[in-house]
Amino acid sequence: MDKTTTVDERALKEANAFLCLECGKCTSTCVVARYNRSYSPRRLISQALAGGRLPTPQELSICLTCMACDARCPSGVRFVDLIRELRRATYGAEFAGNCSHGGAMQSLMKLMTAAELNQDRLAWVTDDLKISDEGDVAFFVGCAPYFDAFFTELEVDTLAGVKGAVKVINALGIAPVVLPDERCCGHDLLWGGDVEHFEMLARRNVELLRAKGVKTVVFNCPECYYTFKGDYADVVGALPFEVKHLSEVLAERAGELNFVDDEGEKVTFQDPCRLARFAGVVEAPREVLTAAGVELAEMPRAGKGAVCCAGNGWLNCDRFSKEVQLERLREARATGATTLVTACPKCEIHFRCAMNDPNLGDEIKMEIRDLAVEVASRLENKKAKPKGKETEE
Amino acid sequence: MTPAKSKTAATEEKSKAKAKAPPKKPRAATKARAKAKKTAAPRKARKAKSRAREGFVPRVVVFACNWCSYAGADAAGVSRIQYSPHFRIIRVMCSGRVHPAFVLRAFELGADGVLVSGCHFGDCHYIFGNERAVEQFEKTKALLKILGLEEGRIRLEWISAAEGVKFGRVIDEFVEQVRALGPSTLAPPGRELPREAEAFADAAALAK
């Protein structure tokens, strides 16, 4: 690491930081700043512009990179880009904080950079799920098998989301290609500043998918989706395939799916930051839910204004994260919905963890389910309708 | 004599004993055992074995609890028990503290095997710490299984403060087991801990 003490001017320029008006909309939007009074995105930017010292990795780890500030910024400053660049610049410096879960996730990701892996990651594939070795469409599983083994005490079933996704894809008449040795997408390493290992993972994943000759890759995890869509091109150049989030595929082809007729439950939708704000996919999951016949009750802050689940790439987890999660769960409960549907396994993990608070009891408890699970549970039978029929909407 | 004092004395004694007594393992016996394992080993292990360098020295990390197993290592030292030196011992206050992150980190830094050792059930200094250790170890095992690492590279053992002989035996067994499996495929190049031989060469160069 080079010994720069101030923020690099190039990083500031690339993040449009010189356009900052110091209006403070970022800080007033920031869910962390609401609880953590010592944290302020506006101050971080103005200090950097004034040639102040480089923030420490610990200070940088507070940001959730949820992009809520950028969505509100009137001058188009890209604060999350600046944070990412600074984390990269300070990576390797002494980090007095603690990565959440003891850094187990970071270790797993780095271990997956090994050239020769013999993963046993397809144990979840049951007989009723059809996957294939070759084809045009691949399904990128993501870290769900690891999460399932790691978060046993939270009773989260991240594999259910993956199974649900494959079930729905099967219902469209596609048996997706699933890689037996797929690596982590590297999202959290990239956002944690470890670009070296991120690039290794990106190359391996693209290599594996290229070898299969697939034309489209479908994702259930929004983080994997956005990392492929937005960040892989910087490492490997233009991708030799198209990337799509499951909700996009389903919104396009909802008419081919048969849903049960009875009245669905009332659900509310938690927009994952990588899906709504980063990739701009806001309508697709809602269209899918409506097509599936569930009643959607929106939270006041939805779509691009949604509140983050306060998990920031396994970098930091503190009492402020907890406050953010509680606030969001109360908001979800206030809609009168019985189920919180999300499209991201991490939202599910973090909300489940917050719900386990014995002091709050039932006050914030609600059913939480992956979008794919919700849609799969509404499928009538697993056969696709003949093409060309009208959608139910 | 306070327990703390005896602890320090025992530790010193142990390090002295270790420094003085290089292992005199009968080489032929070791090789024969490794050979016997080779024929019985599954395909994956054989593949790893074929990659193994001539004279592969495994790097084993041992997490030992402060109250039983670490004292057991001391007992092995003061009793002058001859056993394999190819392990690095890390003292933790309780085996229940050994989170999957510790084990994963060890593999990330180039360990070939990890041994977690604590008090026998009912003997835990913190009453139920070793029960937590089992939970954590099961989790670690599940994660490493998905990663595709051989199950023989991790082991959970209960060794009391009096079981110096058992400590030596477990280390010998485990080091042999890891030796038969060959180097870990998970160690990313360039992030390896120095191998014993290299470490000694470095030390010799520094002394000059």
Q: Which of residues 178-207 of B touch A (CB under 8 A)?
A: 185-188, 191
Mean pLDDT of the A196-201 span: 94
Q: What is the pLDDT of residue B126?
A: 96
User: Which of A108, A114, A146 lies closest to B185 in CB terms?
Assistant: A114
Alpha carbons A185 and B66: distance in angstroms, whole number: 39
Q: What is the pLDDT of residue B190?
A: 54
Which H helix or E strand runs over A137?
strand A137-140
CB-CB contact of A158 with A151 (8 Å): yes
Tokens linked to B171: 């280390």
> At A380, which amino acid appears?
E
B51 vs B87, residue with greater confidence = B87
pLDDT tens digits for range A40-60: 999 999 999 998 888 988 889
pLDDT exceeds cutoff 80 at A122: yes
As beta bridge partners, residue A138 has A177, A217
Looking at A176-180, A297-301, B109-113, which range is the least confident one?
B109-113
Nearest alpha carbon to residue B185 among B113, B102, B97:
B113
Q: Which of residues 89-108 of B touch A (CB under 8 A)?
A: 99-102, 104-105, 107-108
pLDDT exceeds cutoff 50 at A391: no
Q: Is A242 helix (H, G, I), strand (E, B) or coil?
A: strand
Tokens linked to A193: 């500043």
pLDDT exceeds cutoff 50 at A18: yes
Mean pLDDT of the B119-124 span: 96
When the pLDDT of each residue in chain A is averaged and rounded to a whole number, the result is 91
Mutate to test the interface with A, among B108, B153, B181, B185 (most CBs of A within 10 A): B108
Instruction: Please tell me the distance in Å from B180's CA to the nearest CA on chain A.
Output: 18
CB-CB contact of A126 with A342 (8 Å): no
**CA quadruple A140, A142, A148, A149: dihedral sign:** positive
Mean pLDDT of the A287-293 span: 93
pLDDT exceeds cutoff 50 at A8: yes
Tokens linked to A187: 């999202």
pLDDT exceeds cutoff 80 at B102: yes
Instruction: Please tell me the distance in Å from A239's CA to the nearest CA on chain B.
Output: 26
User: Which of B99, B143, B188 lies closest to A114 in CB terms?
Assistant: B188
A118:B145 CB<8 A: no
Alpha carbons A176 and A122: distance in angstroms, whole number: 13
pLDDT tens digits for range B187-199: 766 544 555 555 6
Alpha carbons A379 and A368: distance in angstroms, whole number: 19
Q: What residue has token string 């956002």?
A: A191
At residue B149 the predicted structure's pLDDT band, cuts being 50, 70 and 90, is very high
Q: Is B154 helix (H, G, I), strand (E, B) or coil?
A: strand
pLDDT tens digits for range A70-115: 999 999 999 999 999 999 988 887 776 678 899 999 999 999 998 8
pLDDT tens digits for range A333-371: 999 999 999 999 999 999 999 998 888 878 899 999 999
Q: What is the pLDDT of residue B27?
A: 47
A203 touches B: beta carbon within 8 Å: no
Counting residues of chain B whose pLDDT is more than 70, the rounded percentage is 63
pLDDT exceeds cutoff 50 at B21: no
A119:B139 CB<8 A: no
Alpha carbons A154 and A152: distance in angstroms, whole number: 6
Q: What residue has token string 């120095």?
A: B194
Q: Which of residues 44-63 of B touch A (CB under 8 A)?
A: 44
As beta bridge partners, residue B117 has B64, B157
Taking CA–CA distances from A108, the nearest residue in chain B reads: B104
Looking at A10-19, A149-158, B41-50, B134-143, which range is the least confident one?
B41-50
Alpha carbons B177 and B150: distance in angstroms, whole number: 11
Q: What is the pLDDT of residue B195?
A: 57
CB-CB contact of A210 with A183 (8 Å): no
Tokens linked to A49: 């512009």
Contacts of A204 in chain B (CB under 8 A): none
Q: What residue has token string 């024969």?
A: B32
Nearest alpha carbon to residue A306 among A339, A341, A358:
A341
Residues ≥6 apart with Cβ < 8 Å to B30: B176, B179
Please, is B38 exposed, middle or buried when counting C-beta atoms within 10 Å of its C-beta (0-12, 13-18, 19+)?
Answer: middle
Q: What is the pLDDT of residue B49?
A: 46
